[in-house]
Amino acid sequence: MITKLNVATIYVLDKNEALDFYVDKLGLEKGNDVRQGTYRWLTVRVPGGETEISLEQPGAPLHDDATAAQIRELITKGAMSGLVFVVDDVRALYEDLRAKGVTDFTQEPTDHFYGTDMGLRDPFGNAIRILQQGKARQPAAAQA
Amino acid sequence: MSQEIEDQNRRLLRARDAMDRAYAEPLDVQAVAAIAMASPAHFSRIFRATFGETPHHYLQRRRVERAMFLLRETDRSITDICFDVGFTSLGTFSRTFSAIVGETPSGYRAGHPPIEAPHCFQMAQTRPRLPAGVHPRSSRFGEARDESAA
């Protein structure tokens, strides 16, 4: 029986820039940061959480140059996968991100029957959704 | 060269995100092109090369998807929904909706109950597609007429 999701991977264009965004802006904590030669095993995770999010850059030795370029192009056009987080106060996080200079929101906090969520992009184009679970103050019907 | 494409993609994605976020506002190609820091003509060309459809098509389908959502999930009137999603004329809304969806707004509402799926998946996955065999450059929805009038 599988007991937990241990590592999920997303591709980023630059690991330092990713660390700045995911830790300093979004509020995740750094997990592993291990160097082996030119390789850097870098993960972040929800504070106290069990699943490591591995931040990987396309390139050698996993990818030849042409393949890495294709992946980078897909990331920047928003065609790769994303992450969905749960937060206790989505509007507070929204204000905090704005105060930190984050502007790439794909959706302002919006109420639905299942909770309130917002959307943004990481600096490279990956989609991030953040959900505050629970019954929202008003149903989706009141939203345009 | 790759770096230039990546930077351009990211600017275009930012402009596309603005259409998804602010579809209800009086957006036009010129306003969206400014977000991508390109002239409207150049923007339309590179947007189509990158995402496979013109920005005008993209915005129309986003607005129609939002209208489909409100028709399914709410009991707002069709006239209210028309303006909610950024159309300024009920005639243009009805014509565009019918051409893209294949049925009228009221016909669509009658045949489609609410979908129990998270909003973001609905928004991403139910934006109407190009009909099979229609080249994204073609403009059989009267959109070229709208575009030239804009």
Q: Which of A64, A67, A76, A124 to mutate to test the interface with B (most CBs of B within 10 A)?
A: A76
pLDDT, one tens digit per residue, over B33-90 is 999 999 999 999 999 999 999 999 999 999 999 999 999 999 999 999 999 999 999 9
Region B90-106: mean pLDDT is: 95
What is chain A's pLDDT, residue by residue, as a tens digit (144 residues)?
A: 999 999 999 999 999 999 999 999 999 999 999 999 989 999 999 999 999 999 999 998 899 999 999 999 999 999 998 999 999 999 999 999 999 999 999 999 999 888 999 999 999 999 999 999 987 655 444 444
- Residue A137: the pLDDT is 56
Q: Which residues of chain A does B6 touch, with a Cβ-Cβ cutoff of 8 Å?
A: 13, 72-73, 75-76
Average pLDDT, chain B: 86
What are the residues whose beta carbons fall under 8 Å from the beta carbon of A46, sequence distance 6 or more?
A28, A29, A85
**Chain B contacts in chain A segment 77-106 (CB below 8 A):** 77-78, 104-106
Q: Distance (Å, rounded) from C-alpha B112 to C-alpha B73? A: 9
**Chain A contacts in chain B segment 6-65 (CB below 8 A):** 6-7, 9-10, 12-14, 16-17, 20-21, 24, 50-51
- Residue B1: the pLDDT is 61
- Residue B141: the pLDDT is 43
- Residue A113: the pLDDT is 84
More confident residue, A112 or B109: B109
Could you tell me which chain B residue has the CA closest to the CA of A70? Answer: B2
Region B3-24: mean pLDDT is: 95
Structure tokens at B101: 């969806």
- ipTM tops 0.85: yes
Sign for the pseudo-dihedral over CA of B86, B90, B93, B96:
negative
- Residue B135: the pLDDT is 55
Pairs of CB atoms within 8 A across A/B:
62
Q: Phi/psi class of residue A4: alpha, beta or left (left: φ > 0; alpha: ψ in -120 to 50)? A: beta
The alpha carbon of residue B149 is apart from the nearest alpha carbon of chain A, in Å, by: 26
Residue A43: its H or E element: strand A39-45
Q: Distance (Å, rounded) from C-alpha A91 to C-alpha B102? A: 38
Please choose, from the candidates A7, A8, A25, A9, the residue with its C-alpha nearest in 3D space to the C-alpha of residue A123: A25
